[in-house]
Amino acid sequence: FLGSKIGMFPTILINIAAYMILGILTATKSILWMIPYAIPARLMCPILKILPNGLPAVEESITFKPELLSNGVILPGIIISVILFIILTMITAKWYEGQEAK
């Protein structure tokens, strides 16, 4: 949708900036479930043992919290991501449905 309005390159830049700002800043907060960009960054902690800021998830890291390594975020994160994917795919399909060549 956004790509057809402002072009592909600005859309990619906007999403990269949003991920870097929203994803990294909110991935360790309790509001991470409301920010789609924060979910992959948060899932990286228990799976890869890397903090969203790129530091290793060890006690010596200044932004480390033990709850970041909890496996309890993996299933909800995957479920929310899949649901968002389905919803956004349906919305995009509806948007372009009327623009198809007949």
Contacts of 49 (CB under 8 A, 6+ apart): 56, 57, 58, 69
Local confidence band at 101 (pLDDT 50, 70, 90 cut-offs): low
**Token digits of residue 23:** 């994803």
**Which pLDDT score is estimated for 76?**
92
Write out pLDDT tens, residues 17-64: 988 888 888 888 888 888 888 898 889 899 999 988 888 888 888 888
pLDDT mean over 68-75: 91
pTM, two decimals, is 0.77
Q: Token pair 């057809």 is at which residue?
A: 4
